[in-house]
Amino acid sequence: MAESAANLFGFAGQETRPRHVAIIMDGNGRWAVNKGWPRLVGHRRGAERVKQIVRACPDLGVNWLTVYAFSTENWKRSTEEVLGLMGIFARYIEREADGLSAEGVRLRFIGGREKLTAKLRRLMEGIETRTAMNTRLNLTVAINYGGRDEIVRASRLLAERVVKGEVAAPPTEADFVQCLDTAGHPDPDLVIRTSGETRTSNFLPFQAAYSEYEFTQTLWPDFTPEHLAEILDRFGLRDRRFGGA
């Protein structure tokens, strides 16, 4: 970009800016239905929006971006929509691999992978390996992710490590954190949900215990880097005391 996103969008460079932003990308289906189009059109448009937000984040001072792409509850949707979403995920990885790598983006995935197709798992593992050394932006995509499921899986893993003697008993909170899908990731400073819904929907319940939240009426396909910059500006005005006076 000839001019940095920080200047272009009026981000004043406050000292208090979120290092890690997590986004519940809601409203793709409604966006399409409102226009008389199939829901999958909205999901495809939403994937394009992810690309724009990813490109804007580094210039806006965001080092970590985590997006909620598919929850453990989303399997309840129609077979057509689920299969379409899985195809969109696979195409995104295939088409964006070169661009993400060139732009210094490290891509990782969280969530259970056992229900995903073998092809999708191979693509995920491949791009994780390919981008592992990138540092400009850490992008984490939650697929087949549910916070309660993650906590259960982490608890089982921690118990196994204690039994094996890998972790001393009684285990600590730090030991538990190392068993989460997000081990090694900073907790999100800010969680954004688009589309006007005000639920957290099982997204990062442990990690977001002290996160700031922003709920916007904007549907995800309409959520632009300018919208993100405005929210980051408001974040800079918040007083985060973490339980202190």
Among 21, 9, 52, 49, residue whose Cα is nearest residue 211 = 21
Is residue 97 within 8 A of residue 169, CB to CB? The reply is: no
The residue type found at 86 is M
Q: Between the CA of residue 125 and those of 1, 93, 94, 174, what are the distances in Å?
A: 30, 10, 12, 26
Query: 205 phi and psi, to 5 degrees?
Result: -65, -35
d(C-alpha 58, C-alpha 232), whole Å: 13
Is 34 among the residues known to form the active site? no
Starting from the edge strand earliest in sequence, which strands make up the sheet with 190-193, in order? Answer: 105-110, 137-145, 64-71, 20-24, 190-193, 212-215
Indicate the angle between helix axes 225-235 and 39-56, nearest 10 degrees: 60
Q: Which residues define the annotated binding site for Mg(2+)?
A: 26, 212
What would the DSSP string read from start to end of 41-97?
A: HHHHHHHHHHHHHHHHTGGGT--EEEEEEEEGGGGGS-HHHHHHHHHHHHHHHHHHH
Q: Which residues define the annotated binding site for substrate?
A: 27-31, 39, 43, 71-73, 75, 77, 193, 199-201
Q: Which of 26, 59, 181, 189 is catalytic?
A: 26
Identify the residue whose tokens are 């400073």.
189
Task: Indicate the DSSP class of residue 168.
Answer: P
Q: Which of 74, 134, 175, 187 is catalytic?
A: 74
d(C-alpha 177, C-alpha 198), whole Å: 26
Is residue 60 within 8 A of residue 236, CB to CB? The reply is: no
Is 74 among the residues known to form the active site? yes
Q: Which residues define the annotated binding site?
A: 26-31, 39, 43, 71-73, 75, 77, 193, 199-201, 212
What are the residue numbers of the active site?
A: 26, 74
